[in-house]
Amino acid sequence: MTSRPMARTDVNRSAILAHLGAHGPASRAELARALAVSPALMTQLTKDLLAEGLIRELEHQASQGGRPARMLGLVAEAGRAVGVKVAADHVAFVEVGIDGGVVRTASEPFDAAATTMLTELVSLLRRFIAGGADTPLLGIGVGVPGEVDAQASGVVNSTQLGWRNAPIGATLRRELHMPVLVENNVNALAMAERLSGLGRRHSSFLVVTIGTGVGAAIVVDGLVVRGTSGGAGEIGHIPVRDDGIACSCGGTGCLETLIGESGLVRSARERGAIAPTAGIAALRAAAAAGSTEAAAIYEEAGHVLGRTLAGLVHALDPEIVIVLGEGTADWQHWSFGFEPAFRAALMASRRGVPVAVESWQDDSWAQGAATLVLATPFDAEGIAGEQGDLVRRRLVTQAAVGGSDAPGGES
């Protein structure tokens, strides 16, 4: 197996593409400064990318004296990727360019519990792909809430979706004739963070998501830890109360039942903070309007989350904790309970670990899923399996990609 230092080098290669896409052409020296790598390493990385046809040399940069620098730019026609976020009641789509930039988005109603859910998912994806650009499509990334056996095979077990051994990867590949990678949605977000987010500057970090559920992704030495069955990071199912209510996972008193969206709403209804039929939007509005009961519900949730994450920090020793998800819209209310509980529960040597709360958009989950495809050409660990090989083949044979696709995505 390839060493971890090589895996980090490959992340740098992907970061070069992202930087050129976001900021335009740049010299090797400018890229080395922006991405905090040595000039010698940057020379080697760009040499590889030039050989693979992902970047091209452009005109020389005006010189202030000395040898003029050669500018580098993206080969824009190198490809695009589609990301899919599957939820119980809808599917979100995003199309991104080779640099990860969002080209277009869409959201469609979806019933994950329907017996025809596979057929419907194929139909929705086919329609979204048909409306895309002429640039070759490298592959499809699918993010799901639950366990995925492997990115390449894509067999899903999800209590949120009611899926047991759902053959998502095989079905989509067979019907769409396209490389397909499937992963837990929080793990996909962690990969996106590693390539172009705050995780870019850290080799070991923890991504935590709050919203409908509660999840985590663990990155150690630049690699996402998947666990034996692809289920590492299911912190929402850590038991925190002996007398708690039943959870969808089959346990009782899980963290998610207390501080997930449904748990917050249930508590707010029971305590009269919102009307008996109101939802999370009403709780958010009540807290913003100064309701002490609504504020207390968020503060208590923050307290529980803080103590739980302190335990994870002790166990994993990350450089930073990154908080994401729909629930971050209410973080100003969570923080009153989270910060003091988190710091107080940490031993002295860990109390300085930073916690970054990032902004959230509706298509962030799907954008994370698209990263599964963009990362595969630089997958030194072979996580993407044969599907990663197919993506690479499409990337380096652009002319062939523009034609018809053979069954199984093996064009």
In this structure, the answer to whether residues 219 and 346 fall within a common structural domain is yes
In this structure, the answer to whether residues 222 and 336 fall within a common structural domain is yes
Joined tokens for residue 231: 């289920």
* Domain annotation covers residue 169: yes
In this structure, the answer to whether residues 52 and 111 fall within a common structural domain is no
Percent of the chain with pLDDT over 90: 61
Full residue range of the structural domain in which residue 18 is found: 4-74
> What CA–CA distance (Å, rounded) separates 161 from 195?
28
In this structure, the answer to whether residues 233 and 97 fall within a common structural domain is no
> What CA–CA distance (Å, rounded) separates 332 from 295?
10
Joined tokens for residue 293: 């009961």
In this structure, the answer to whether residues 176 and 131 fall within a common structural domain is yes
- Residue 1's pLDDT is what? 37
* Domain annotation covers residue 83: yes
In this structure, the answer to whether residues 210 and 341 fall within a common structural domain is yes
Joined tokens for residue 222: 């630049």
Q: What residue ranges of the chain have pLDDT lower than 50?
A: 1-7, 62-63, 398-411
Residue 222 phi/psi, 5° resolution? 80, 0
* Domain annotation covers residue 126: yes
In this structure, the answer to whether residues 150 and 229 fall within a common structural domain is no
Domain boundary among 25, 50, 74: 74
In this structure, the answer to whether residues 43 and 107 fall within a common structural domain is no
Q: What is the tally of structural domains in the chain?
A: 3
* Domain annotation covers residue 45: yes
Q: What does the DSSP assignment read for 365-401?
A: HHHHHHHHHHHGGG-TT-TTHHHHHHHHHHHH-HHHH
- Residue 99's pLDDT is what? 73
Residue pair 66/407 in contact (Cβ under 8 Å)? The answer is: no
* Domain annotation covers residue 157: yes
> What CA–CA distance (Å, rounded) separates 218 from 233?
7
Domain boundary among 49, 74, 99: 74
- Check which CATH number belongs to the domain holding 390 and give it: 3.30.420.40
- Residue 396's pLDDT is what? 60
- Residue 2's pLDDT is what? 39
* Domain annotation covers residue 409: no
In this structure, the answer to whether residues 265 and 160 fall within a common structural domain is no
In this structure, the answer to whether residues 291 and 345 fall within a common structural domain is yes
* Domain annotation covers residue 411: no
pTM for the structure as a whole: 0.81
Domain boundary among 74, 105, 130: 74
Paired strand residues for 57: 72
* Domain annotation covers residue 253: yes
- Residue 383's pLDDT is what? 81
In this structure, the answer to whether residues 69 and 84 fall within a common structural domain is no
- Check which CATH number belongs to the domain holding 32 and give it: 1.10.10.10
- Residue 60's pLDDT is what? 59
In this structure, the answer to whether residues 291 and 395 fall within a common structural domain is no
Among candidate residues 225, 214, 394, 369, the one with its CA nearest the CA of residue 304: 214
